[in-house]
Homo-oligomer: A and B are copies of this chain.
Amino acid sequence: MKIDIIENVMQYNSQEADLNRELFFNKKIFVINILSAPGAGKTSFIIENIKKLKGKIRTGVIEGDISSTHDSEKIKKYIENVVQINTGGTCHLNASMVAKAVEKINLSEIDLLFIENVGNLICPVGFDLGEDYRILLSSVSEGDDKPVKYPKAFVKTDMVILNKKDMMPYSDFNYCFFESKVKELNKSAGLITISCKTGEGIDYWLEILSSLIEAKKQNDLQL
C-alpha cells in the first residue's frame, strides 16, 4: 500500500516534469537542476555563471529553499528573472513547484534557467523537474567520502562539479579517492574541479555549457 502511494507520487511528478520539459523545449530554454549539500556553493556557482554570461546568454534562476529569500536577494543584484520557491518544510523541489515558479518568469527573456534545489543530498535526487541537465555540486570542505555516503546523488547526475578547490591546501581531501568513487558509481558523468572564490575552472565549465546548449539546439532542430 505504501509503495503504491510512493509510485503514484513519482508518476505524477514525472508527468508534471514532462510538461515542464515540453514548455522549456518550446521556449528554447536550456534548464539545469543543481543539487548539493547545504553550503557547497550553489548560489555562488550560479552568480559566477551569470556574471560571465552577461551579454551573451540571458539567464533566469529558480531558487529553492525551506524558507527565506536570502539567496534570491543575492542573485537579484545581477539579473531580473529570479523566482524564490519556499517549500515550507519539504526537503526537495518537485516538478509542480517548478511549474508554478516558471509562470512568474518571462520565458521569452531567457535562454538558460538554473534551478537551485534545496540543500540536501538525499531527497531531491528522485525528483525530475523537467531539466535538460543535472549538476551535483560537491565541495572539498565536505570531504572526499561523499560519493560513498550519498551514492544515489552521484548516480543520478550528468555532471559532478567539485567546488572550493582553494580549500585543497588546508584539507586532507584525497582527490584520487573521490574521483575513483565517482567513476565507480557513474561512468558517464563529467567531473570537473572549480573554485567559485578564485574563479578557477569556471571558464572551462562555461565551454562545456556552451557545447551543451549548442548540442541541444542541433538536437531540437532535428525533432
Contacts and interface: CB of A to CB of B under 8 A. Distances in A.
Nearest to A151: B67
Interface string A143-162: 10110111110000000000
A2 to B, nearest CB: 10
A200 interface: no
Size category of the binding interface on chain A:
20 to 34
Contact of A167 (B67, B141, B148): B141
A143 B141 CA distance: 11
A77 interface: no
A179 to B, nearest CB: 17
Interface string A42-62: 000000000000000000000
B89 A149 contact: no
A34 interface: no
A146 B38 contact: yes
Interface string A88-100: 0101000000000
A41 to B, nearest CB: 8
A23 B52 CA distance: 58
22 contacts: A37-B119, A38-B38, A38-B150, A39-B141, A65-B149, A66-B151, A66-B152, A67-B149, A68-B148, A68-B149, A70-B145, A70-B149, A89-B122, A91-B91, A91-B122, A119-B121, A120-B121, A141-B141, A141-B167, A166-B170, A167-B170, A170-B170
Interface of A: 37-39, 65-68, 70-71, 89, 91, 118-123, 139, 141-143, 145-146, 148-152, 164, 166-167, 170
